[in-house]
Chains A and B, each alone.
Chain A
Amino acid sequence: MSTPRILAWVAAAIAVAALLYAPMVLRSYGVYLLALWAVTTIAALGLNLTLGYAGQISLAQGAFVGLGAYFTALTTNAGLPYPLAFLGAGALTFAVGWCLGYPALRVQHHFLAFVTLAFTTLVFLLLRNEQWLTNGIYGINDIRRPTILGVATGRNVSFYYFALVMLALFTFVQWWILRSPWGRAFVALRENPLRAASLGVDVRRYTLMAFAIGSSFGGFAGALYAPLVQFIEPNSFQLTYSLKLLLMVLVGGAGHFMGPFFGAMIDLLLPEWLRFTQGYYLLIYAAMVVVLMIFCPKGIVGGFVILRDRLFKPAPVRRPDQPAGGTAAKPSA
């Protein structure tokens, strides 16, 4: 194994150990925030799949989290067991995401961004206006936390471990998807749709698939969000939230497996780190994102990859026209 690889595996082990150990040193607030981080990361992972790997801009991920959260809150309140509600939230958002993928077949790039933006606003309006179903602007209060395999998740610590297990599960699913033929097809679509089609990739099917899977990650995240916060309202799932998720993915590094983990962490913890600046943290965050995009448009992980490539020579590449770092190693400033 090469030096960076060994270093990296050690680091991964430390990271996992730290996440497991965190509740022992953190107080209730820190644990809640970490749980929120785990949930947000799942949603960002999904968006990274749609956007980072399959190259489809989506401004609808926040709406999918909302759909998942509302589905879960409504069905569990009606008596459905939580695991079924959880799966249902994923299935619903998978189906809706599949349908939203259809416009992606016809239009791309900014037009797709506009279609998904419209979708987000429509979902908000439905959640707000259809009071008979969603309780409208008042939101749904007192959502109960589930009991999973006999373990009650009422306390923040137990819910945190539940969320962490879910994050691990979805991380594994993502990893599995990416190394499956599907994942390769997604990347081929992003890199060059025409060539992908000529190589026999069913563009239509895989575009819809990328959208549907990415959206269902959002739905699952929503199914966790509802019992975590125990209150949902339409305002939480407005366009701002989708933009926030988009920012997380790009700040972390779109198309990088670890990107969403960092993006979500920065978004949630930055107010904490910048507490000494009083009320100015949003201003500073915004400025930092602009600067990051100017100097390192591949996001934080992309920046590390470039840094790593400079520090350690990349592994010898068999074909000179295929740079080892994939997109990340393409020449950039």
Chain B
Amino acid sequence: MMHTLRLRALSRRTALGALVAAAGLLALPGLSTGARAADDVFIPNIVELSGAGAVSGTNWRDGIILAVEELNAKGGILGKKLNVPHLDTQSDASIARAQVQKVMDDKPYVILGPVFSGSVLVTMTQAQQNEIPEIVGGEAAAITQKGNPFVFRTSFGQQASMPKIANYIRDGLKAKSVAVLWVNNDFGKGGRDNFMKEMQARDIKVVADVSTESGQVDFAADVVKLKNANADAVFVYTNEEESARFLKEARKQSLKGAMIGETTLLSQKVIELAGDAANGVKGHVGLSADAPVASLNEFGQKFKKRFNYANDHNAIKGYTAIYMIKAVTEKIGKFDSQAFAKALHGMTITPDKEPGILMEATWDQNGDIDRASFLGEVVNGQQKIVEVLPKIGK
């Protein structure tokens, strides 16, 4: 008895629901991106604005906002204003794919983002199919190893930065053994794998391989492991906050061996957060507002003024991406996506011609970037640059 009644109710509910479903579907054609003014340039930015990648993503976005505001105030590129909407991937590859599909429907000139390597790998296939250049923030080695002629980096891939660190450990520190502490996400794992390869190539023994979680607070166990390994040098590859917490714990337990890092470990933010514990840290500095380059420092101040927080390297990547577009477009003299990709391969952009690029940079046939970088050290709470590593091409 009860069942028949329930079932009747069920079918009625089902049918009623269908009524609403129909209404919902009718609203679907509204899915188009809406009308755009025909006289602007459509350069959508697809990036992590919520979820695990939100911090990198907002930096990247704000760097872009800053550059776009500057450019549009001066009349845009070739007299056309830039239209740069920001689409959230929610740090999820399936959404990233949806977003790239969506902007492709509106024939973009160039697309920007994402930062997460997984999302980059998904979106760049779409970019290639549609022959639209994609300027990405991802640093995974794989991105530029797939022979995709439409993908371009804004910073060193890990396959380019790790050899620099490795040379420094071999020649500068003359270390015989090294320990690695890395954050177990696609950024940290990618860096760690490339680092291991470089160590093997240089016959330096890796005596400890310690994985940490992103957002980790307690590093006691990790430092205990590193202490037991007793390595000449410890390579730390985690995000800013975790780096600072680790440095404090390492000092607390008096961990021996030189602390070596790549960009983040020597950043002003880590120094601020870790205090004295950051003193003595050494390593390689790629893009950083603290680098001894006037244009980068000025950018840092401009950014702070506009957004009221200190930028990380992702903001610089986003900012220079827009100026890359400007320089290339002015060179080819038109808005042509395919010509853009062709022109950028092998191109060098210098700050005296295009100040917004901040530092001279060259893109090779794979879309990898080459530019100068630095070896530095933290002395008395300040980043000190010890050596300038010139561009490889020079």
Q: Do chains A and B touch in the complex (CB under 8 A)?
A: yes
A90 to B1: give the CA distance in the assembly, Å. Answer: 34
A209 within 8 A of B: no
A318 within 8 A of B: yes
A111 within 8 A of B: no
B5 within 8 A of A: yes
Chain B residues with Cβ below 8 Å from A261 are: 17, 21
Size bracket, chain A contacts: 35 or more
A265 (CB) vs chain B CBs: closest residue: B24
Interface digits, B1-35 against A, CB 8 Å rule (1 contact, 0 not)? 11101111110111111111111111111111000
A118 to B128: give the CA distance in the assembly, Å. Answer: 40
> Which of A71-79, A100-108, A134-142 touches B?
A134-142
Chain B residues with Cβ below 8 Å from A305 are: 13, 16
A158 within 8 A of B: no
A240 within 8 A of B: yes
B52 within 8 A of A: yes
Q: From the candidates A18, A22, A269, A315, name the one contacting B8 in the complex (CB within 8 A).
A: A315
Chain B contact residues: over half helix, strand or loop, or mixed?
A: helix
Chain A residues with Cβ below 8 Å from B1 are: 318-319, 322
> A22-B28, A231-B118, A301-B13 in contact; A8/B18 too (CB < 8 A)?
yes
Q: Is the CB of A317 within 8 A of B5?
A: yes
Q: Is the CB of A12 within 8 A of B18?
A: yes
Chain A residues with Cβ below 8 Å from B122 are: 141, 229-231
B104 (CB) vs chain A CBs: closest residue: A28
B102 (CB) vs chain A CBs: closest residue: A29
A324 within 8 A of B: yes
Shortest distance from the beta carbon of B394 to any chain A beta carbon, whole Å: 33
A142 to B146: give the CA distance in the assembly, Å. Answer: 11
Chain A contact residues: over half helix, strand or loop, or mixed?
A: helix
Q: Is the CB of B97 within 8 A of A142?
A: no
B205 within 8 A of A: no
Interface digits, B99-118 against A, CB 8 Å rule (1 contact, 0 not)? 00110110000000000011
Chain B residues with Cβ below 8 Å from A315 are: 8, 12
Chain B residues with Cβ below 8 Å from A137 are: 184-186, 189
> A11-B15, A32-B101, A262-B17 in contact; A230/B125 too (CB < 8 A)?
yes
Chain B residues with Cβ below 8 Å from A145 are: none
Q: From the candidates A32, A178, A240, A308, name the one contacting B51 in the complex (CB within 8 A).
A: A240
Chain B residues with Cβ below 8 Å from A29 are: 31, 98, 101-102, 104-105
B91 within 8 A of A: yes
Residues of A near any B CB (own CB < 8 A)? 4-5, 7-12, 14-15, 18-19, 22, 25-30, 32-34, 36, 128, 136-139, 141-142, 156, 175, 178-179, 184, 187, 225, 228-233, 235-236, 240, 256-259, 261-262, 265, 269, 271-273, 279, 282, 300-301, 304-305, 308, 315, 317-319, 322, 324-326, 328-329
Residues of B near any A CB (own CB < 8 A)? 1-3, 5-10, 12-32, 49-52, 86, 88, 91-94, 97-98, 101-102, 104-105, 117-118, 121-122, 125, 140, 142, 184-186, 189-190
